[in-house]
Structure 1
Amino acid sequence: MTSENPYSILIVDDDKSMRQSLVVLLEAAGWAALAVARAEVALEKLAEMSPDVVLSDVRMPGMSGLDLLARLKPMQAPPLVLISAHGDIPMAVQAIQGGAYSFVEKPYDPRRLLTILTHAAEKSRMRESNDLLKKRLFQLSGLDRVLLGKTDAVSELRHEILDLASTDTPILIEGETGTGKELVARALHDLSARSDRPFLALNCAALSSDTFEAEMFGVQGQSDGRLVRASGGTLFLDEVGSCAPDVQAKLLRVIEDGQVLPVGGFAPVSVRLRIVSATNIDVGQAVQEGTMRQDFLFRINTFVLSLPPLRQRRDDLTLLTSHFLGEYARVHNTSVPEISHDDLLALMAHDWPGNVRELRNVCERRVLQARRGTGNMAIAIRSDPHPDDVPDTLREAVAAFERELIGKAVKAHDGRMEAAAEALGIGRRTLNEKIVKLGLDKQALL
């Protein structure tokens, strides 16, 4: 504490002489002190100021000190120290269990009280400093832009990602389709010390038992496996619940031993990989049904991140919609359509089975409608692809999809091919080859 930045305290006590004596004591110690007579008034003051600590009497007319404690949000409110002439051990235990920093009996020892209050204020300043640091890290990392939202669930998720990114703990990300599981996995990688190493995303549903070892472990004297090339980075096992049992066994050995044996080889090769997995199924049920090995699950779910579906975070709908409308208006070089009252009603009434991914698609359809001077959000939500627009063959459908996806990525990143390739999850060379193969004109896309 310095004279330029003294500790501040809010005192709550219905006894006027007690309030005055506490103010004199604390101001003499260099504190900035404000005293009020009722807890109800203290709540109003807390909304206006941010004291380092609150010192409250327990028994007061109206709201008691314990009631005040219950009204404070533990992660946001300053530490609360309770003081009472009627205190006893059960009351002190109840106060501490309820989240109070400490409990002091009247008559108090001034030195002891000042020591307790100083420690509480130091804790408050440290927490505030950590919150500012995290906020700065969010801004630097772009995490607040990747995981948009102001609801408590999303805010807590951002904090968990930031805390877990610096560890090597295996993480299982649970969530419905479209909730952003790969975004979270990439954020964990990008914020880690492994960010300069590869992020290897494997679709477990597409892993073949027959070719797994050659592709992942490599072939002696011919090629390094994908796991070897990604060593030092992050291995993202997407749709891990769809992984074949024999592939699970092979992955389990890699996770446990940190080694792979190339096909035809005699000496194992060391690999260092941080394991992040994702699933949209009940893995516990999968274990019971025998489609997932229990020992494999135990190796990948040391920590579990659960992503909330969009229908459980409706307070974020307006923010997300505004962001996506702005994003696609820029991509399609048009003005951002306004969100009307009827649009809001349509957004809130929809159940969003496709979650954030569905909302993105709806917003792009709305932007395309607005560019033609038609449509609204309700129509955009109901829109389905017209059967006449579907190509006749699978090859044509895949090519059409790739053209659309690549076009969007190139536009979204203003022609920066490295950034577009990274967003698409492919290499720069592969992107160039696809542009040529699909007959895309980069300049026309911009």
Structure 2
Amino acid sequence: MNIQTHSILVIDDDKSMRQSLEELLIAAGWQVNAVSRAATGLERLAQTQPDVILSDVRMPGMNGLELLEALDKNTAPPLVLISAHGDIPMAVKAIQDGAYSFLEKPYEPRRLLTILTHAAQQHRMRQSNSRLKERLFRLSGLDRVLLGRTPQVVQLRAEVMDLADAGAPVLIEGETGTGKELVARALHDLGPNPDAPFLALNCAALSPDTFEPEMFGIAGQTDGRLRAASGGTLFLDEVCSCPLAVQAKLLRVIEDQQILPVGGQTSVPVSLRIISATNEDVDKAVQDKRLRQDLLFRINTMVLGLPSLRQRRDDLTLLSAHFLEIYARIYETSVPQITQDDLAALMAHDWPGNVRELRSVCERRVLAARRGAGSMAQAIRTDQTLDDVPDTLREAVAAFERELIGKAIKVHEGKMDAAAEALGIGRRTLNEKIVKLGLDKDALL
């Protein structure tokens, strides 16, 4: 039977008392960190993250009651005070101010250990509840990412929840614009290690010449991106477009969970959950010898299929209303009403760009509504005559993205996760676009 070890920060200026407490607690299986001053204890708090604090009351400098007042009541572990000079008024005030308990010296060891154990268990339970609330918040985020009420989307959300804790490799299949990276991030965020790294690699951009030093690191110089991401998730986007030479190196990492730094003699273990994504037919990619079959077998333990927008037309009204509201907030205007003609236009369109295309259509609709004109049918048409259009498509896209991203950053006051969510892209993609487009975040705020 495994006994859960608790940790404690002991603060007492009396050296003999401090050593006595250390010996008692270590013998009882506790991890102990002991200091002689309350101010030192406050500095150690963030580093050691104990389950409970045991502190003397009367000490030079900051005393125990002042320490209690300095602690953040929302995040700090419980504080148990102990004093040879304690009296009833002091004990009552300490408890009223938030202390977990108060004991007088000389203490009874069994009672002290019982109080400390209960305090530590309460702290861990509170932390667990906080994580649960955070996970529930992320679940509501999943609802926003996979917004919809059609059976395909409801089933997809359930599958994401089931697979999040599994740890098995997942292959996400879906057309362009269906939200594959957002689903990959949801699998990571809802998993057991949401605070661990999420390393997203665009496989089409990987070079066989630079892959090993960049990903494996150089012995004695750099750790490499894979080692830095160990303990987290490796997301292989556009996996069918990965160069074959890189596929062989990735396969070794996935199979062995080890990397050999360039110039090194000893392999370094890594722990990575593998999530991949593609908008291609993987069987055809294998047949065309663009995707190694042995790599496919390693990454497709579980497969998630993302429905196209054509397969979930009943969600069009809900999605449109959602995106119209987002862009109306970004452009500081009223939300356009969806008319029967708008609905007819939405249902008649084939949506080759899926949800990503619908977002763009809703943005054009909001921009037109801000000028007092427009309809969904006009927003869907791509052959509209526009004033001041740049000479090339690349310039037009860059200008469009620059304006939209700038507005999103302003609206969300520089909160990049919120801006990325509003734009319907991953945080990594947003950062890359900011650099590529030469945007100055500070100048926007």
- The TM-score with structure 1 as length reference comes to 0.64
Q: Deviations over 1:203-251 (max 9, x none)?
A: 1111111111111111122212111111111111011110111111100
Contact 1:170–1:302 (8 Å) recurs in 2: yes
Identity in percent: 69
Q: Residue 262 of structure 1 aligns to a residue in which SS? A: coil
CA shift at 1:438, angstroms? 3.6
CA shift at 1:429, angstroms? 9.4
Summarize the Cα distance change of 1:440–1:398 in structure 2 as closer, same or farther, 3 Å threshold.
Answer: farther
Q: Deviations over 1:64-102 (max 9, x none)?
A: xxxxxxxxxxxxxxxxxxxxxxxxxxxxxxxxxxxxxxx
Contact 2:416–2:427 (8 Å) recurs in 1: no
Contact 1:165–1:188 (8 Å) recurs in 2: yes
CA shift at 1:328, angstroms? 0.6
Contact 2:218–2:263 (8 Å) recurs in 1: yes
Match for residue 201 of structure 1? 200
1:425 to 400, 424, 427: 427
Contact 2:181–2:426 (8 Å) recurs in 1: no
Match for residue 217 of structure 1? 216
Contact 1:138–1:144 (8 Å) recurs in 2: no
Matched, 1:389 2:389: yes
* C-alpha separation in 1, matches of 2:145 and 2:417: 19
Summarize the Cα distance change of 1:152–1:240 in structure 2 as closer, same or farther, 3 Å threshold.
Answer: same
Match for residue 143 of structure 1? 142
Contact 1:198–1:234 (8 Å) recurs in 2: yes
Match for residue 414 of structure 1? 413
Matched, 1:356 2:355: yes
Matches within 5 A, 1:427-442: 438=439, 442=443
Matched, 1:281 2:280: yes
Match for residue 318 of structure 2? 319
Matches within 5 A, 1:174-185: 174-185=173-184
CA shift at 1:291, angstroms? 1.1
Match for residue 89 of structure 1? none
CA shift at 1:289, angstroms? 1.5
Contact 2:389–2:396 (8 Å) recurs in 1: no
* C-alpha separation in 1, matches of 2:171 and 2:290: 17
Summarize the Cα distance change of 1:387–1:271 in structure 2 as closer, same or farther, 3 Å threshold.
Answer: farther
Matches within 5 A, 1:54-65: none
* C-alpha separation in 2, matches of 1:173 and 1:161: 11
* C-alpha separation in 1, matches of 2:431 and 2:281: 38
5+ residue gaps, structure 1: 1-132
CA shift at 1:393, angstroms? 10
Q: Deviations over 1:395-417 (max 9, x none)?
A: x6786466335314414523324
CA shift at 1:387, angstroms? 9.3
CA shift at 1:269, angstroms? 1.3
In structure 2, what residue type is equivalent to 1:257? Answer: D
Decide which moves more: 168-177 or 422-431.
422-431
Q: Deviations over 1:4-60 (max 9, x none)?
A: xxxxxxxxxxxxxxxxxxxxxxxxxxxxxxxxxxxxxxxxxxxxxxxxxxxxxxxxx
Q: Deviations over 1:296-345 (max 9, x none)?
A: 00000000000110011000000000000001101111100000000000
Q: What RMSD in Å do the two structures reach over aligned CA positions?
A: 2.9
Summarize the Cα distance change of 1:140–1:160 in structure 2 as closer, same or farther, 3 Å threshold.
Answer: closer
- The TM-score with structure 2 as length reference comes to 0.64
Match for residue 308 of structure 1? 307
5+ residue gaps, structure 2: 1-131
Q: Residue 144 of structure 2 aligns to a residue in which SS? A: helix
Decide which moves more: 221-230 or 167-176.
221-230
Summarize the Cα distance change of 1:258–1:439 in structure 2 as closer, same or farther, 3 Å threshold.
Answer: closer
* C-alpha separation in 1, matches of 2:432 and 2:181: 21
Summarize the Cα distance change of 1:274–1:391 in structure 2 as closer, same or farther, 3 Å threshold.
Answer: farther
Contact 2:182–2:426 (8 Å) recurs in 1: no
